[in-house]
Amino acid sequence: MLNTWADPGRPTGERVAALLAELTLEEKLAQLVGVWVGISETDQEVAPAQHEFAEPLPPWDELTKPGLGQLTRVFGTGPVDPLVGAKVLAETQRRLVANTRFGIPAMAHEECLSGFTAWQATVFPTPLAWGASFDPETVERMAHEVGLAMRDVGVHQGLAPVLDVSRDPRWGRTEETIGEDPYLVGLLGAAYTRGLESSGIVATLKHFAGYSASAGGRNHAPVHMGPREFADVVLPPFEMALRLGGARSVMQSYAEVDGVPPAADPSLLTDLLRDQWGFDGVVVADYFAVSFLETAHGIAGSPGEAAALALAAGVDVELPSVRCYGEPLAELVRSGVVDEGLVDRAVTRVLTQKCELGLLDEDYRPESPAVLRGEPVDLDPPALRDLARTMAERSVVLLDNASGVLPLGASKLAVVGPCADDLLALMGCYAFPNHVGVQHPDVPLGVEMDTMAQAVLKEFPAATVTTAKGCEVDGDDRSGIEGAVAVARDADVVLAVLGDRAGLFGRGTSGEGCDAEDLSLPGVQGELLEALLAQDVPVVLVLLTGRPYALGSYRPAAVVQAFFPGEEGAGAVAGVLSGRVNPSGKLPVQVPRGSGAQPTTYLHPPLGAKGGASSVDPTPAFPFGHGLSYTTFELSDFAAGEELPSDGEVEVSCLVRNTGDRPGAEVVQLYLHDPVASVTRPVRQLVGFARVELDAGEQRRVTFRLHADRTSFTGRDGRRIVETGEVVLLVGCSSDDIRWERSVRVTGEPRVVGHDRVLVTPVTTS
């Protein structure tokens, strides 16, 4: 007779309750932990404190006898052939099912921040590049395809997207953020979430919450942020990705916010996330975060105490391996210190998700589609490369071209700089070649790529191209600068290719644990650039970076910014240089003028702007939303209603016309200013945008429907409110390039709004 819990014809709740009733305490706790099979004390860290917790595992059958909740990174721990990895995963699941009393498979999770973090998988642009594209539709398609590839080899859960709003670009993980505006982050993050979920992959929102606002831009540093800023800047992207993207998992952050780590904060993980927002999925711990309550935060005296705090707060699964949720927690439950009901609560959530994925069905089989086909697996097929190319091309930002040197027509090009001939300079820290591949220098890269120098040679076949490194990405070796200058003197145009090398925990200039003391170009790259600029040759500065760097003191002929554009990135940048690609990227983070005076973002109140009370001018070199094109766009025929009901909406529209001689794309941006409010408000806040593709001479009307809920903010009493009175709507092509503004009166009665408020400004083009 078929067990109730294994019968797919019965309601999920009934099945889960029946299975839960049969589990012992040890079997329950086994569902709340992961196992990281490939972790080693000798490998370089890919997670903080990895070596500290990399204890030898018991024999597999002994370890998994009670069951297992999660398998950690079967593909992302070492370079494994995709088909081999799929077969290993299937065999692991088969053994797990055979070795346990109820035969419950594990969920397999992987990283997928810039594509599937696996050997031979497509390396897409990093999230900061998604932000530069202002293109949620392409981001969603990218995520869907990434998810299909993961599902094909047996993965169930993806640890993405990152929804942290950039608050201090010195933070090494800035490259993982989508930008410094919560609406941009939320809209694109929701798109990525939808894409993953539509492929069958469980999307995991991270890092909940406040992580990117760390003091001094330091990783794992305290967060000093008031509740209003937390509510209005940090939380909205998570709300959007849950409501609009359908995420089924959330990962808590490593931060401590005003002295409380999220992993031990029931007001965040239970009261807000579940009771107010209605989230019914699974909260997973960031790697070793439960242990950190003891070892890093000092609010628990033992692994058991850490487990008790995290479980009560609402952390359902300890990742990546068991340390706290195993025997230490079991002892506290047996002694009555921890209510077993809390264990049951978490296990119910985990089993519900497994049930929804088909892992509890009687006819479950461990073989993934790739294993059943038995053919070599291509994780980087032409369709994904095409999508990576589209994403890269739409994310390149032309910052400056006042000299008109671009597009290039020169016959002698010097490609100079430490990133000119380095494949790894094109990828972020969660791309497999940088994340894991660097630990295996004898293993091929896994994907076909061009360096910038190679891409320039292909893009300009009739040109004479010479190269010189000049200096390393970091360090103080200046011995190559003179040679680079000599190469530059003999060229018509110099391409100075500078930037970052993504890495982990100090092994790079950008990436997790690779924070910056200031925003000067790393190493002696600034000196190299100054030496090149001193020559009587036009210099085009090409930046391949994971964060914005201070550019106010340099005067190159042109500046092109690419945020780790991925495996097709070099061709995308070269296409912009030649004019084959008309640049359309916009800055998702402002570019500072000076290297200090951080943190600052465009989203500041009046006191955050330049003023006579301070000698420091925070005005950026290039503002949020800025980006040039090789064609020109005119915005005209603006229209907006004069009133906005406090429970209604107002239409704002304009004509956008391509007045140049070639096709291009403009991002029309709608901003809001609230001149008088009960608390200070940003001078300018993005509330809508539209990426509009236009042929030469073509025009379209862009219409935004702005709901009054989009003017809401957290008031003095901690409630989110829509206040009545005057607001100013501004339409432009960047936060500083405003073409029109209109005062509109919010009428009616003030309103308190909640999680069910309108989160998006719909936009149409006609």
Token representation of residue 117: 């973090």
What's the pLDDT score for residue 38?
Answer: 66
> Which amino acid is it at 102?
F
Mean pLDDT calculated for residue range 297-306: 96
* Helix or strand holding residue 83 (H, E): helix 82-99
Beta pairing, strands 412-416 & 493-499: parallel
* Pairing assessment for the beta strands 713-714 and 720-722 based on DSSP bridges: antiparallel
Give the number of other Cβ atoms within 10 Å of residue 654's Cβ: 23
Hey, how many other C-beta atoms are within 10 angstroms of the C-beta on 259? 10
Contact between 590 and 623 under an 8 Å Cβ cutoff? The reply is yes
Cα 236 to Cα 246, 611, 709, distances in angstroms = 15, 30, 13
CA 26 – CA 722 distance, rounded (Å): 50
β strands within 4-163, DSSP E: 34-35, 70-72, 107-111, 157-159
- pLDDT tens digits, 588-635: 999 999 988 778 899 999 888 888 788 888 899 999 999 999 999 999
Select from 111, 193, 121 the least CA-distant residue to 159: 111
Q: SS3 of 379, please?
A: coil
Q: Are 678 and 716 in contact (CB under 8 A)?
A: yes
CA distance 616 to 597: 8
126 touches 563 (CB < 8 A) = yes
Question: Do the first three CATH levels of 27-373 and 396-608 match, i.e. the same topology?
Answer: no
Report residue 49's pLDDT band, with 50, 70 and 90 as the boundaries: low
> Whats the size of the chain, residue-wise?
766
Position 46 scores a pLDDT of 59
Compute the average pLDDT of residues 542-557.
96
CA atoms within 13 A on the CB side of 186: 22
Nearest-5° angle of CA 603, CA 604, CA 607?
170
Inter-residue contact 205 to 250 (CB < 8 Å)? yes
| Cis amide linkage into residue 209, ω under 30° from 0 | yes
Regarding the domain delimited by 396-608, which CATH topology (the fold level of the hierarchy) does it fall under?
Rossmann fold (3.40.50)
- Report the range of poorest mean pLDDT among 177-186, 356-365, 614-623, 725-734: 614-623
- Position 405 scores a pLDDT of 97
The Cα 43–Cα 50 span in angstroms is 9
Of the candidates 303, 269, 188, the one whose C-alpha atom is nearest the C-alpha of residue 667 is 188
Contact of 127 with 193, CB cutoff 8 Å: no
Q: Which amino acid, one-letter code, is at 385? A: R
- Write down the residue that tokens 């490593």 correspond to: 254
Residue 392 has pLDDT above 90, yes or no: yes
φ/ψ bin of 679: left (φ > 0), alpha (ψ from -120 to 50), beta (otherwise): beta
Question: 42 pLDDT exceeds 90?
Answer: no
The pairing of strands 685-694 and 157-159 is unpaired
- pTM comes to 0.96
Residue with tokens 């236009």: 694
Q: Domain coordinates of the chain in residue numbers?
A: 27-373, 396-608, 633-765
Across 383-400, average pLDDT = 98
Interval 379-387 mean pLDDT: 97
- Residue 61 is encoded by which pair of tokens? 């059958």
At 222-272, the pLDDT tens digits run 999 999 999 999 999 999 999 999 999 999 999 999 999 999 999 999 999
Is residue 16 within 8 A of residue 255, CB to CB? The reply is: no
DSSP state, residue 590: P
Average pLDDT over residues 64-71: 95
**Residue type at 202?**
V
Residue with the two structure tokens 């990525």: 192
Distance, C-alpha 264 to centroid of its chain: 24
Element (H, E) at 181: none
Which amino acid is residue 527, in one-letter code?
Answer: E
* Cα–Cα distance for residue pair 451/474, rounded to 1 Å: 19
pLDDT for 140: 98
Query: How high is the pLDDT of residue 533?
Result: 97
Which pLDDT score is estimated for 1? 57
| pLDDT, position 596 | 86
pLDDT tens digits for range 654-673: 999 999 999 999 999 999 99
Domain 27-373: give its CATH superfamily. Answer: Glycoside hydrolase, family 3, N-terminal domain (3.20.20.300)
Helix, strand, coil percentages for the chain (3-state, nearest 5): 30, 20, 50
**Nearest residue to 635 via CA among 661, 662, 658:** 658
Residue with tokens 């029109």: 740
Average pLDDT over residues 302-308: 97
**pLDDT, tens only, 133-192:** 999 999 999 999 999 999 999 999 999 999 999 999 999 999 999 999 999 999 999 999
Dump the DSSP string for 459-520.
Answer: H-TTSEEEEE--S-SSS---TTHHHHHHHHHTSSEEEEEEE--B-STTSSSBSTT---SSSS
Residues 371 and 355: their CA atoms lie apart, in Å, by 22
pLDDT band for position 48 (cuts 50, 70, 90): low
> pLDDT digits over 498-510, tens only?
999 999 989 999 9
pLDDT in tens, 432-482: 999 999 999 999 999 999 999 999 999 999 999 999 999 999 999 999 999
Radius of gyration of the chain (CA): 26
| 422 CB-near residues (< 8 Å, 6+ apart) | 451, 473, 501
Q: First-to-last CA distance in the chain?
A: 61
Contact assessment for residue 261 and residue 293, using Cβ atoms and an 8 Å cutoff: yes
- Mean pLDDT, range 495-500, rounded to an integer: 98
Beta bridge partners of 670: 688, 731
Which residues on adjacent β-strands are paired with residue 465? 413
Written out in words, the top-level CATH class of the domain with range 633-765 is mainly beta
Between the CA of residue 329 and those of 297, 307, 335, 639, 719, what are the distances in Å?
Answer: 19, 6, 10, 62, 37
Q: What is the pLDDT of residue 58?
A: 80
Checking if the pLDDT of 535 tops 70, the result is yes
Q: Amino acid identity of 559? A: V
The whole-chain average pLDDT of the chain stands at 95
